[in-house]
Structure formats: C-alpha cells, structure tokens
Structure 1
C-alpha cells in the first residue's frame, strides 16, 4: 500500500471562506466565534472536501472535531439522506461533546444526531436510531450491541466513518470490536482517522480502513503548550492528603481539576474536600452516565469549582476555563500527564499544573520532564500552615473512610435485594470498564482502577 500523501501547506494564512466552506457553515462558525481555522482545520478540510480519506495526527485541544465535522456537514447539505456519518469515540463524555459540536455547526441545516453509549437505556437508543439521525456518535462497544441486537438498524448506507482518538480506542482494547464494525459498513465510504500518536496499532488500523489517505500532522511529538506553568510539590507520602488540602485552601478561588489514579481515591478525596467546605464533585467510570454528565455540567457551569477525576476526564474534553490541574497521583505514562495538564491553558489562555511528588515518585517526574523537554518549578509551601492543617485533615480522612464503608454496605444490600441483573447489564458494566481505561483481560479483578 502506498504511503499516505502529506497535505500541502499554503504560506497564505487560511480563512474559513478560503477553505471552500458553504455559507450556512460560515454563519454557524461566526455565531460560535470561530474566527480563523486552527492548523489541523486548515490542512484537513480542503482534501476532505475533495473526497479524500484523512489521517489526522493532532493533540487534544487542536480543534480536530471541527476538522472532521465541517466537511461531513458540507457533504450532508448536498445530499441529506438517512444515516450519513458515524463517529467512534473512546469515552461517553467525548461522544456527547462531539455530538454537541455537530449540532452547533449544523444548526442552520437542522442536523440530527444520536449519541449511542453504554450506561444508557438500549430501548431509548433504539427509538433514537429508528428516527434516522444524520450522525451517530458512539462508543464502539454499545454501537456493536445495536448492530447485533436492534432490528432494522444497520450501517449499510453509511457515507462517512470517523475514528476519533484512535490511539485511545486501541489502548482500551476496542480493536476486536472495531474489526467487527469495519466488516459491516460499506467499502465505498470516506474515512477519517484522528489520533494523538501514530502507534503501530493505529498504523495497522489505518491500513485496514483507509484508502489512499492524506496525512495531516500538526504535532509530531508530545509537548505541553507554552502558556502552561508547570510545578511540582514535594512531600512525604504519609502527608499527601494534607498537602492536597493545603493546595485546595491556597487556590480556593480557582477552577481546579484534581486527577487521581483510582476510582477509590476520586471518591475519597471528593468527600474529604466537601467535609472541609470545598465544593468538590467526583467524575469516574463507576458513576452512572447521568451522574457523570451531571458532575461535568456542574463543573463546566461553575456551580462547583473542584472536579476530582480519574483519567476518564483527561482526554478530549473541552472545559472552557480550568485554572489549575493538580496531579494527586503521577501518571505512569508521560502521555497521560500531557493529556491531563492539557485540560488547562487551552485556546491560548494561561494555566498552571501542580504535580504532587513523594519520595517514591522522583523517577517518574524525571521521566516526564525528559519527554516534555522542560524542568518543572518547585511550588513553594508554608510548612507551619501545613502542620496546623494536619489534625483537621486526619479527621476528614476518617470521616471519608466511614462514609465510603457505608456506601459499599448499602450497595451490597441493594444488590442482594435486587438480584444480579441480566446478561445485558453485565455487558454494560463490562463496556463501562473498557471505556474507563481498564484492559479487557483484567476487568473482573481490578474494580478499583479508574
């Protein structure tokens, strides 16, 4: 197979009209205050409008949703028949966000979207699919469930397939499901594959699903933006909770996301912070879909200023104004660090990240500094103030431990009372674990992860 053709780059600064977009889309872009195309949009939209397949290598926050949505909507304007495009995303929250962007950009043409993700009622989704939406945005597991179980639903006439965050889709073991989906969609279609990195798995997926693609590469290596100030905060492991409370206290007026490695810590820290008067809410893969969306919406609207999240919130989510990202746990992979801190300092704004470093984390932090090509600065702390907080922090930790025990106890009682559920429910829980970032072979035994 020939190597993908590189997109040509013009020296003239691009404008949305110069890309060949139709007036209804230009009007929508103006309403949304999109003044000029980002680099990925300027390079991807012209070949996409010519009917070429696209490989887009671009980091989160680069404007890639509009890069694939605008060409699809322009072609839909010309031929508005039936189910037109399917977008696959690795997480439910990202699927909802992509759908919202399609609806906003396609507002003048009355575009209809359906979001098909795990954790929601299958029957309601089947009704939405029966109404013949133009765009389906889905997580692969749930889309495959509907292809296998929902009468009358198929992708036989699909014109466009988009795989967004393809590296993440494959990291989450969606490979076998993607293979099934690729077998039941038309060979004659346009395909857009967007990924933050070109791993060997993504290259294999590209060869299997794209025809003579144009490659558009905006970020050739992982990096953080220049407007992000990055700090580390040194502490003993035993005082980690106290230091986090100290930081929350010091930064109380800021909009903050705190990232943890496990679901347990996300729940525990949100309870500790609430106990001490901080408006904190958790976001992780073991909440119901309505709880997850509720947490996200409260945080986005400014109703709650602190979001305590696992890596389910680190990729793709566009939350307009996050002032601070705190890494309570250092991620094992450097690219996860870059995605986490990418939640702040977006679209040219400034932001800060603070990573908590204990005596066990020095090697991890050095590895991250090597990848991003810069040294983090030390975040200065007031040792006397931290010592004064210690007693209150310990009490809040005890209260949180008791509350979590009570929650687990009542959850077990509910399960005993209501039975173990149907096979369909088991599949939903399994799908949820995959979307939350757990390798498929370990889902049963590692319920505490993310």
Structure 2
C-alpha cells in the first residue's frame, strides 16, 4: 500500500509545492513525500482546515510547515502562523524544521517555551518573526505581559500532538489563546491518536475540516519489530542491562514511569560502563536540551526518559526502544515506540513486563490489535549479571542519598558523575569480556537482524 501512493505521487512538485520549497526539501534529503504529506498538502494548499491522524515519525511537521511557508511566500507578514506544542523539546524541534525549510527564503522563527528567559524571548518577538512555535502557557504569558505583542493578524494556527495539548494542564491557556486570535484563519490539528477531547476542539475551532487518516486508528509502523519479555519484578534492572549489553552497538531509549527512576537507572548503567543519560521533567530546560544533544551527537547511546520525551522527538538514529515500565495509558505505548523505526527505517521495541504490569500490557495488545512475540532471554545467562547490577545499584543509591535533593534543585544534572564511574567501567568491561564473551557475539548477530 505504501508503494501505491509513492507510485501515484512521486514528487513534492506534483503536490503543488513551489520550486523554492521543493529545493529546500531536497536539501533536507526529503526525496518523496510521506503518506500524510501526500494526503494533507493538496487540501492545505486549497485553504481547507485539516485534522491529520498519523503515526509518529510519519512526516507530520512537513505536512503543515510546507503549506504554511508557501502561503507566507505569497503574502509575507509578521506573526503569520503559530504552532502549539505540548513540550518544550518538540517546540524547538518544529522551529528548527521551519527554519531549515525556510532557510533560502529568510524565514524568521521565535520559540516561546518555559524554562527560558522571557526577556530574551520578548526581544525576539520585537523582531517580528513570521512563525511562532511555543507551549500554550508561555505563549499566554507573552500575550498578557509583552508590550506590543499580539496575534490579531494571525493567519494559521496549528495544534501538534493535539491529544496531549487537550489535557487539563493546557485547557485554560488554549481557551485564552483562541480568544486572542482571529476567527478568520486556517487551523490544522495533528495527532497520532484521536480522542473525545480532540473532537471537542475540532468543533470549537475548525470549520468544515478535511479529516486525513494516514494510519489505522492506533497503529505502529510495519518496520518496527515489537517484542515483550515477561520477567520477575526483582530482576528488572538485570534484564535491562542484559538487553542493552546484547545490543551494545545500538542507540536506545529506555522509558520509565517516574523522574526519580530515570536518574537512578542512568547512574546504575553508568556504573556498569554504559553511556546512559537521563532526561525528565525535573530537569531544567537547559539540562534537558543538553542531554538530548549529547544523545543526538552520539556521546551517549542510551537515553533514559519519562513520557516527556515520547512525543514527537525525531532522533533519527534510535535503533531500540525499551519500555522499562509499562505505561498505564496504553496510547502512550504508541508514542513511545514511535521513537524508533521512523521515516521508513527499521527498529526494535522491547517491553519488560513484570507480574504487576500484565493487565496494562494486555490493554496495549488489545489497542494495537496483535499479540507480540516474546524476546528470548535465558534467565541463567541474565542472572550472571545479578551481583554486578546489585552492586551498581547500591553505589547509585548511596550517591543519590549523599547528594540529597541538591541535584534535583539544580535541574537533575548527573553529568558530573562520569569520573567516579571510570573504575566501575574498567572493572565491568574486564568482567564482560571475560565471562560474557558469547554475549559480544550475540550482539553482532542481533544487530544484523
């Protein structure tokens, strides 16, 4: 089916995108439009409101950015479009994509997110950018407090990850934003999942929208190999370390339920010589972006994160997603595993299911409509790691107790632990190359799959 739409529409040009933007797409390496782009762009260019349902990693940002930039070329003005995002990182990423696509035509973007100095943002707004990308709360702060800033001439409003934007945290801010912007505008609403709240927003802010489903209701991409591993809760860290050492050449994202768990796991893994870094809502914006950039640059190849990182972040090199904690909301599973197997690449998702999480896991299988195969791991082999993992955990807990709440108040920066880990790294690597030699071989074999 994927082949069919590529055969029908082979280029961005044939969708109606102008030459300047086609060249921008080519410079970004976008050879063919994705399915959501094929279906959304022609309607957007006709001036229709859109509801786009598409899997994460399917090219949603391009589906709304290209029509907006093309309309801006026809009628340039400041504060032309506003894109709302549920997380700071996603907002920054969307702005980067707008700037990359619009680099040849002088597009100016402003990012309005919390955790960053408002004064600097106000200076950027005074330069009258074309595109504003932000989180709802900070956008309302500027609409209320920044002199001379208004969105009364806005032409386009985009809700990205709309299902998440519509939880109670954002409701008041979104209502205020809708009151501040003109009714005569184009509105695009994009989401990986459709909820009752999304339908409510559709009624409130869209006019005769075209609904595009580039995915089945809740689906994962075909290039994603999904597996589960049923384990005793007490050996969970052991299984995680086993999988990460088996797949040692891969880049991995490990999802946990709490911010504290991200920090503890990152310390445990680093004590065992793995290049892990945490990212969670407890960290300051600068620390979160720093961690994300280290991961993108390959300095660290294991990112331990909460669901704050599961929405919309396109880190192209992720080979594997591990659900260390099974999400209680099964829709979050779709977003988490959407971090791998993006834009046609392959990837692996492994869910560690203990005896207390079985019900949540069964809900996930029901949602995606398939039974997943089991990840094969010999328990005797896994438990060979038990002593070393227990020791690494003991050291990590002591470290957290020693620092008390200091790290959290400073934004959860664990990067200064690296020197302390060197001895542990050497000891672990010696043990690993001695006792676990066959795992090294397995790792190469698994990478080829």
Give 1:235's aligned residue.
Answer: 231
TM-score (norm 2): 0.87
What secondary structure does 1:377 align onto? coil
Q: Is structure 2 residue 308 aligned with structure 1 residue 312? A: yes
Quote the offset at 1:172 in angstroms.
5.3
Give 2:183's aligned residue.
Answer: 187
Q: How does 1:287-326 map to 2 (within 5 A)?
A: 287-326=283-322
Q: Name the CA shift for 1:85/1:412 in 2 (closer, same or farther; >3 Å).
A: closer
Cα deviation code 1:85-137 (max 9, x no counterpart): 11000101110110011011111101011110011111111111111111010
Q: Is structure 2 residue 386 aligned with structure 1 residue 398? A: no
Quote the offset at 1:362 in angstroms.
2.1
Contact 1:14/1:42 (<8 A) preserved? no
What secondary structure does 2:385 align onto? helix
What secondary structure does 1:118 align onto? coil
Cα deviation code 1:293-337 (max 9, x no counterpart): 111111112111100010111111111021111111011122111
Q: Is structure 2 residue 263 aligned with structure 1 residue 261? A: no
Among candidates 243, 264, 278, match of residue 247 of structure 1: 243
Question: How many residues matched?
Answer: 407
Q: How does 1:137-176 map to 2 (within 5 A)?
A: 137-171=133-167, 173-176=169-172
Structure 2 residue ranges without an equivalent (≥5): 412-449
Q: Name the CA shift for 1:11/1:356 in 2 (closer, same or farther; >3 Å).
A: closer
What secondary structure does 1:380 align onto? coil
What secondary structure does 2:227 align onto? strand
Contact 2:55/2:220 (<8 A) preserved? no
In structure 2, distance between residues paired with 1:317 and 1:10 = 25
Among candidates 104, 108, 111, match of residue 104 of structure 2: 108
Q: Is structure 2 residue 346 aligned with structure 1 residue 347? A: no
Q: Name the CA shift for 1:180/1:387 in 2 (closer, same or farther; >3 Å).
A: same
In structure 2, distance between residues paired with 1:151 and 1:292 = 30
- After the TM superposition, which segments of 4 or more aligned residues of structure 1 sit over 6 Å from their partners? 412-415
Q: Which moved more, 1:100-109 or 1:230-239?
A: 230-239
Among candidates 7, 10, 19, match of residue 23 of structure 1: 19
Cα deviation code 1:257-276 (max 9, x no counterpart): 11000001001000100111
Q: How does 1:328-367 map to 2 (within 5 A)?
A: 328-367=324-363
What secondary structure does 1:297 align onto? helix
In structure 1, distance between residues paired with 2:51 and 2:176 = 21
Q: Which moved more, 1:308-317 or 1:395-404?
A: 395-404
Structure 1 residue ranges without an equivalent (≥5): 1-8, 416-450
Contact 2:193/2:331 (<8 A) preserved? no
In structure 2, distance between residues paired with 1:172 and 1:330 = 23
Give 2:74's aligned residue.
Answer: 78
In structure 1, distance between residues paired with 2:74 and 2:330 = 44
What secondary structure does 2:228 align onto? strand
In structure 2, distance between residues paired with 1:38 and 1:120 = 34
Quote the offset at 1:373 in angstroms.
2.0
Cα deviation code 1:176-198 (max 9, x no counterpart): 21010000111111111112233
Quote the offset at 1:367 in angstroms.
2.0
In structure 1, distance between residues paired with 2:354 and 2:66 = 46
